[in-house]
Structure 1
Amino acid sequence: MRAAEIRECGRPPAVAERKPPVPGDGEVLVDVLAAPITPLDLLCATGTSYFGTPATPYVPGVQGVGTAGGRTVWFPSPAGMAPGDGSMAEAAAVPESSLVELPEGADPVQVAALGLSAVAAHMALVWRGELSAGEQVVVLGAGGVVGQAAVQLARTAGARRVIASARSPQARERAARAGADAVVPLDTADVAELARRFADAADGPVDLVLDPLFGAPAAAAARVLRPGGRLVNLGSSADETCPIESSTIRGKSLRLLGYTNNELSAAQRASSVAFIAGEAAAGRLAVAHETAPLEDAAAAWRRQRDGRAEGRIVLTPRPAG
């Protein structure tokens, strides 16, 4: 079979012929239809992640969509985090217990593009963030997959107003297409100026901030939270530290909450994936993405890594149909 291989950490994958995987006890063979190139894939392949340096060669791909036993399924993989191969191949051996069957009408590529990024947005909003109908939400970094999904999922969860923010004009356009009521530019690190922009865009105090950025944007968004408001942090794309004042936290008795998909149980993850796929199949959830054939994995990898892609790139080892 054809597969993408990481042969040397820090370099893009090369496409090669490999023996098809042989399923072990409790595993099934999945014919892969769609394999997204995610930030976690890129990080693990550098050899500098907290998971350590992966043994090479290995097939990357921490998640994918394919067919098994007549079903269309989403599946996870520990590739790059633990020994074993991932989704960027024509076939993958996957524990049957980790498969999530997708609803009829779900587009494999769109579900792959959403994947665990959308799961993070969903669970950070409704589980960790306890979003209630009628609340006002700020989504930071809303041009990325997590942010685009969060804007749409906040709306379907009943948020009365969703304020997005993003750095580049292209990212702000993606946030607007996702359905944000207002989009705030993040083109400065001036916390007071960003806070003013959020306040101008808001209809009164904000109830919940979804934050994959940290840094100055998070500090600014915290200033417009209502007393008892919540900020859920699930990333640090802007900075590893945040200049939030103690008086802001104490003065409003704010709740600062951390989130990671790693905290989810298998059942929670499967339930969220199924929900995400259902929303996508119903036409209520979509994110900007591109497709590329498996043969173009190296070029696609470089474009995703360098930020030159229009959204998430999804490799198609076995295009549907």
Structure 2
Amino acid sequence: MYAMTIPEPGGPDALVWAEVPDPTPGEGEVLIEVAAAAVNRADLLQRQGFYDPPPGASPYPGLECAGRITALGPGVAGWAVGDEVCALLAGGGYAEQVAVPAGQLLPVPAGVDLADAAALPEVTSTVWSNVFMVAHLRPGETLLVHGGASGIGTMAIQLGKAVGARVAVTAGSAEKLAQCAALGAEILVDYREQDFVAEVKAATDGAGADVILDIMGAKYLERNIKALARNGRLAIIGLQGGTKAEINLGALLAKRGAVTATSLRTRPVAEKSAIIAAVREHVWPLVEAGQIRPVIDRRIPLSQAAEGHRVLDAGSHIGKVLLTR
């Protein structure tokens, strides 16, 4: 088969479409013929040499895909050759075929195009596991989403609204904020010109955000704690603003606040499977009912994945960038 390889770390042109050995499904795995994959920031870090795949994972980038099952490994039940699926991966999505544990599969939701389904596994798993399974967002609470126009952000807005929360977002342009509003965000903050702490406090009568989904890390830590409501929960899922910062434990203590930080790629298969099962139970009905949809910025041929990386590097996209075959 062909896959997007990284002979040497570097810029987007470090991605090389090359012939590689075909994967074979192991115990409890299926083989998928890939129809589409999605670009995630983790892929850019891997290309640059900063985020190696977990031990035993495919060396090729790509943390989610959609396609058709072409083979079943030993011990797989509940799936059949020919099934249309999307999958959460530890790597290998930028390829013609990928082997994946059966517990990380989801059926393509009714009403969703096969290729578009590639935009769902990573964002739904990340948002559901952090905002709901860890931070326990409840109806009537306020959810602050940093990077509201990103793939993660556009999904978090929709899921927050679907459960009856009030959603606040930060984004870097009027166009992005308008798209966030169209998805259901009510509190819109242009981080280039506004202080998100002041804006969220003003919009909540001084209370603050009950849950914050953060992609920035160190740069936003102090302000995120200031923006938290009493009993607020800060879920950190990205480190775009750095890895090290001081924390005022007194401020956190006074608010009875909680800070969590999680990653998805390196979790054991059993944990990923549990998240996927929760997504299938709670999120998939919303997708099939039309309440939640994948937000697609553009589609690019898989063999031109470098262009997809340039789009994410530029930061002008809204939603997900797909790589299609």
TM-score normalised by structure 2 residue count: 0.81
Matched-pair contact (CA < 8 Å) for 1:164–1:182: yes
Q: Write the distance in 2 (CA, Å) between the matches of 1:126 and 1:314.
A: 26
Matched-pair contact (CA < 8 Å) for 1:12–1:302: no
Aligned to 2:105: 99
Task: Check if 1:176 corresponds to 2:184.
Answer: no
TM-score normalised by structure 1 residue count: 0.82
Aligned to 2:120: 114
Matched-pair contact (CA < 8 Å) for 2:65–2:119: no
**Residues 50/21 of structure 1: CA separation in 2 closer, same or farther (3 Å cut):** closer
How far off is 1:252 after superposition? Answer: 1.9
Amino acid at match of 1:89: A
Matched-pair contact (CA < 8 Å) for 2:103–2:276: no
**Residues 187/301 of structure 1: CA separation in 2 closer, same or farther (3 Å cut):** closer
Q: Write the distance in 2 (CA, Å) between the matches of 1:289 and 1:26.
A: 34
Q: Write the distance in 1 (CA, Å) between the matches of 2:161 and 2:261.
A: 22
- For residues 1-321 of structure 1, what are the structure 2 equivalents within 5 Å? 1-10=1-10, 11-18=13-20, 20-49=22-51, 59-68=60-69, 69-79=81-91, 86-159=92-165, 161-187=166-192, 193-205=195-207, 206-242=209-245, 245-261=248-264, 262-263=266-267, 265-274=271-280, 275-285=282-292, 286-317=294-325
Q: Write the distance in 1 (CA, Å) between the matches of 2:210 and 2:60.
A: 42
Matched-pair contact (CA < 8 Å) for 2:24–2:31: yes
How far off is 1:265 after superposition? Answer: 0.9
| Count of aligned residue pairs for this structure pair | 306
1:22-44 deviations in Å (ceiling 9; x for gaps) = 44454433111111121112212
Matched-pair contact (CA < 8 Å) for 1:63–1:115: yes
> What RMSD, in angstroms, separates the aligned Cα atoms of the two structures?
3.0
1:173-200 deviations in Å (ceiling 9; x for gaps) = 3322321012012116x9xx44222212
How far off is 1:13 after superposition? Answer: 2.0
Q: Write the distance in 1 (CA, Å) between the matches of 2:314 and 2:54.
A: 22
Aligned to 2:77: none
**Residues 215/187 of structure 1: CA separation in 2 closer, same or farther (3 Å cut):** farther
Identity in percent: 28
**Residues 158/48 of structure 1: CA separation in 2 closer, same or farther (3 Å cut):** same
Q: What stretches of structure 2 of length at least 5 have no aligned partner? A: 70-80
How far off is 1:303 after superposition? Answer: 2.6
How far off is 1:76 after superposition? Answer: 3.4
Matched-pair contact (CA < 8 Å) for 2:5–2:17: yes
How far off is 1:116 after superposition? Answer: 1.2
Matched-pair contact (CA < 8 Å) for 1:163–1:201: no
Secondary structure of the 2:298 match is: strand
**Residues 241/25 of structure 1: CA separation in 2 closer, same or farther (3 Å cut):** closer
